Structure 1
Amino acid sequence: MRPAPLEGLEPTLNQRTFSIIGPGRAGTAIAKALANNGWVISRVAGRSIEHAQSLAEKLGAMACIAADVGIGVELIIIATPDSAISETAQIVSVQAESGALLIHLAGATGVEALEGVRSTRPDLVLGSLHPLQTLSDDNAFEKLQGAFCAVEGPPEIEGLARELGLTPFSVLPENRSAYHATAVVASNHLVALMGQVERMANNAGVPFEAFAPLARTAIEAALISGPATALTGPVSRGDTATIEAHLRVIDSSEVAVYKALARDALRLSGRDDAALEELLS
């Protein structure tokens, strides 16, 4: 049974419609952003009807099976795990409307993930749109405003990105994995590094939150002035004695990461320091 739509989301002749399969963080954020821009969501599909029901109810849509998600809409969004994109595209394309836009949101792969549909449904418009933003909470769609995104496909994809407040750019297919690896370092690895800060802060008897202003300032300086200019600390000034003191007291489980990042800081500094290189080896 279809729930009552949110006020203003009942389709009219002038409103554009979309459906989504994969109501996870990214899919939910994009769906909410589209709804805020006047699009009307028709159907939501997931691993099961129950899995899709929550987002469907929030946006006044119908929860359905994957095969039905493309019925009667202009835009179909695949927000499944990367490994399921190709198979999902084949399933949803069967009942898709002629001329519909079929896109996925993955970062590690481009429009080639949809190539299997091209021969069976050449009347569909294929593309990919990967928001370069962390989407980890219920209000994540608000973070799309001003973020960048990798797009591939016809001009409609870039237009959709701009409509959502995103700044689109293109990535060559041969650079896709390198692009995604960079995104992982910029997001996931930074979070993992904050995990190390939290552990070391606990061992030092200092509140983790005490390091928040320092971390924010360092990131902002690196983004504004460039990493090499923003670099400070014992490595940048060749203070071997301080680094030796650090290595004596930090937990043995933290030493490998500390040394690896210190070596990277040394490379960034441009210093030719044999003693420091030996200490960090």
Structure 2
Amino acid sequence: MRELERESPTNTVRIAEQPRIPSLAIIGPGRVGRSVAAAAERAGIRVRLAARDDAVDAGRESEAALLCVPDNEIVAACDAVVRAVPPLRFVGHTSGATTLDALASAHVAGAEVFSLHPLQTIPDGATELAGAPCAVAGSSDAAVELARQLGARLEMRPFEVPEERRAAYHAAAAMASNLMVTLEESAAELLDVAGVDSPGRELLASLVLRTAANWAERGPDALTGPIARGDTETIERHLEALQELAPELIPVYESLSERARAIAAAAEAVR
């Protein structure tokens, strides 16, 4: 249905009526770069996807460059594309934790700099970005507006994060996504060690998805289980089982249990 919508005459008119987005060079043909490039092409933006070796040529053909590279490669990628300034007018990156300081060489050369971080897990180069929030920042009002318009054209929901709080913002994202995968994989491994005769991920998937949906709808009121109801005997049995089968998970369980108690107490206090 989404593809049909994008190809419909109505959608063509809608794209034409939107603010113009400069031609875009995407530097870095990895998972993020390919996903952003695909979304940009669907939005009718003229885009060139290039590796760092072709960054200068791609930049000279574009008005804006978006660096879709790992955090520790942003400075080098920026130094590579900076030779295209001008005609390149804007240089951005897609990092969540990195500030605009990593783009200093482009700014010194006369380009405005920005960032656009999709708040979305991107496991492959065909990841759908539509509907996801995206954190934006810019060195000027024009750069922020470009980042906002680009995010909107990619059908994401732009919002701003203070530069000095980028690391905290990204830590929150990592907790919600990366560490959740780590936690669920640990739970699945525990089921395997316990001798449960079925793949742990298959058994836990519906519980995980329903819990996430409950949290999205109810926030801390979605918390259930022995900690929420103060069932200390069951918690002790959990710890005894972990001591026998997976002692390395005891610190994880205890830390999360302490945090769960605090959340449950805070939720109860406002009821």
Q: Same fold by TM (over 0.5)?
A: yes
SS of alignment partner, residue 252 of structure 2: helix
Quick check: 1:16–1:38 contact (8 Å CA) kept in 2? Answer: no
Structure 1 position 68 matched with structure 2 position 57? yes
Quick check: 1:15–1:38 contact (8 Å CA) kept in 2? Answer: no
Quick check: 2:114–2:147 contact (8 Å CA) kept in 1? Answer: yes
Quick check: 2:31–2:126 contact (8 Å CA) kept in 1? Answer: no
Aligned match of 2:46: 40
Alignment length, in residue pairs?
A: 236
Distance 2:48 2:30 in 1: 17
Quick check: 1:72–1:96 contact (8 Å CA) kept in 2? Answer: no
Aligned match of 2:208: 215
Shift of 1:168: 0.5
Structure 1 position 130 matched with structure 2 position 117? yes
Alignment of 1:99-248 (within 5 A): 100-120=89-109, 122=110, 124-140=111-127, 142=128, 144-153=129-138, 154=143, 155-206=145-196, 207=198, 208=200, 209-227=202-220, 229-248=221-240
Quick check: 2:60–2:87 contact (8 Å CA) kept in 1? Answer: no
Q: Mark the CA change 1:219 to 1:38 in structure 2 (over 3 Å): closer, same or farther.
A: same
Identity of aligned residues (%): 36
Quick check: 1:73–1:97 contact (8 Å CA) kept in 2? Answer: no
Distance 1:16 1:108 in 2: 25
CA-atom RMSD, angstroms?
Answer: 1.9
Distance 2:83 2:189 in 1: 51
Aligned match of 2:254: 259
Structure 1 position 88 matched with structure 2 position 83? no
User: Higher helix proportion, which one?
Assistant: 2
Shift of 1:17: 3.2
Shift of 1:25: 1.1
The residue type paired with residue 61 of structure 2 is G
Structure 1 unmatched ranges of 5 or more: 1-13, 47-63, 272-281
Q: Mark the CA change 1:43 to 1:213 in structure 2 (over 3 Å): closer, same or farther.
A: closer
Distance 1:28 1:151 in 2: 19
Shift of 1:98: 2.5
Distance 1:15 1:196 in 2: 44
Structure 2 unmatched ranges of 5 or more: 1-19, 267-271
Aligned match of 2:66: 77
SS of alignment partner, residue 130 of structure 1: strand
Shift of 1:216: 1.1
Shift of 1:82: 1.3
Quick check: 1:102–1:125 contact (8 Å CA) kept in 2? Answer: yes
Aligned match of 2:265: 270
Distance 1:107 1:81 in 2: 10
Q: Mark the CA change 1:43 to 1:235 in structure 2 (over 3 Å): closer, same or farther.
A: closer
Greater Cα shift, 90-99 or 153-162: 90-99
Q: Mark the CA change 1:267 to 1:237 in structure 2 (over 3 Å): closer, same or farther.
A: same
